[in-house]
Amino acid sequence: MFRNVKNYLELVRLHMLGLGVQCVVGALTVVGANLPYEAFAPLFAVHALTIAWGFAHNDYSDYEIDRHVPALRNRVIVRGDISLHAALSLTVIIFALSALVTILSWPGLLPISILILLAAFVVAYNRYSKTFAGSDLLFAAGGSLLLILGAVTVLPDQDLRLLPPLTWVVVAISFIDHINFNAVLGGIKDVVSDKQHNCNTLACRNIDIDETGKMTISRRFRFAALAGGVAMTALAFWPFFWATYPSSSWQIALCAVFAGLNLYHTYRFVNIDRHDRNVIEKIARQREMAAKSLMLGMLVVWIGLSWTAIVFFVPAVSFAVFNAIMNGHPFRLPEGY
């Protein structure tokens, strides 16, 4: 019984659910530190449930490829502990729960419409991620819609026209970050198995790799990744020069450090010359931490220290605790993730 429950928790990535603060951040971009604390629970729940059904559906969609990849042999569907039918059924059930939370928490047509559009993007990405090179745009759009969903919940009359410029700036940063995370970091990580199965990803189109694992990454792929990092930096510094948003010199200095780290780790990543999954995943985590810290750093004065602490520590602590429970270590992921 316990083993069966653990398999389902593994499928939905229990240790990742605590990272579901995107809707919370969206709301914070609108009202800042004035967001009531009781708003956290439904906003967090919708994103966490989206993470859960998104992972379940992704494993369901990628089964035919994953079962031929030695590094992914530990995934629950691949090893036969959960059937494809059960995975798809769980996906539908969890999405229905997220829709129910949305409808009960924020009555109105717009929030549930955004959630359905988000789901359409995620499902389309999972379905075509290995056959359509532009599918990363769908992934990025879905992630950015979580921010818009959160922002809409605190708008008067749920009027999209009232979204402040700060929200759109954060949405743009999130969109670019998702592109870099998925197309570049994820693409390079999976390029060996993807090429073996003739997948059509941006990484497959822009990376040559020989039988020894030596990689040659095209200049345009490197340039696009670094340009994304530069664009994120430019957008992150925009509020500091917009009179209506408070800022301080220490905040600007902090963001400069995070922006530098984001660019540095992006540069390291696109200049890897050998496919070593462990090295790739380590650099990817470092870059992602820098990128998320940059976004949080640009908001810290606007949202206040209390909300900053919540948005930072809830994901960090929940990941460490549940990863230790599920995988035996607070920070190291097992093979197959």
The DSSP 8-state label assigned to residue 181 in this structure reads I
Burial 261-270 (b: 16+ CB within 10 A, else e): bbbebbeebb
pLDDT digits (tens, 9 = 90+) for 287-324: 999 999 999 999 999 999 999 999 999 999 998 998 88
CA-nearest of 21, 26, 331 to 170 is 26
| CA–CA separation, 286 and 74 (whole Å) | 24
Torsion of CA 118, 93, 102, 30, to 10 degrees: -40
pLDDT of residue 102: 98
4: left (phi over 0), alpha (psi -120 to 50) or beta: alpha
Q: Which of 39-43, 49-53, 188-192, 259-263 has the lowest mean pLDDT?
A: 188-192
Per-residue pLDDT, 197: 85
User: What pTM was computed for the model?
Assistant: 0.92
Q: Is the dihedral of CA 183, 187, 188, 189 positive or negative?
A: positive
Alpha-helical regions (H) of 129-164: 136-152
- pLDDT for residue 234: 94
pLDDT band at 337 (very low <50, low <70, confident <90, very high): low
pLDDT at 245 over 90: no
Residues in the chain, total: 337
User: How far apart are the C-alpha atoms of 271 and 253, rounded to whole Å?
Assistant: 27
From the list 116, 130, 146, the residue with the least C-alpha distance to 46 is: 146
Summarised one tens digit per residue, pLDDT across range 52-78 is 999 999 999 989 888 887 777 788 999
Q: Which residues contact 245 (CB under 8 A, 6 or more apart)?
A: 166, 239, 301, 302
Maximum separation of any 2 CA atoms in the chain, in Å = 59
Average pLDDT over residues 173-178: 96
Which residue has 């993470």 as its token pair? 51
What pLDDT is recorded for position 4?
84
How do 215-217 and 207-209 pair as beta strands? antiparallel
Report the CATH architecture of 2-327: Orthogonal Bundle (1.10)
Candidates 259, 265, 258, 253; CA nearest to 233 is: 259
- Per residue in 206-217, pLDDT tens? 999 888 878 999
**Structural element, H or E, at residue 295:** helix 277-327
Angle, vertex CA 318, rays to CA 32 and CA 333, nearest 5: 125
Which two three-digit tokens encode residue 201? 């990803």
CA 176/CA 173 separation, integer angstroms: 5
How confident is residue 179, by pLDDT bands cut at 50, 70 and 90?
very high
14-34 pLDDT, tens digit each: 988 998 999 999 999 999 999
- The closest alpha carbon to 94, from 55, 138, 144, belongs to 55
Q: What's residue 323's pLDDT?
A: 86
pLDDT of residue 1: 46
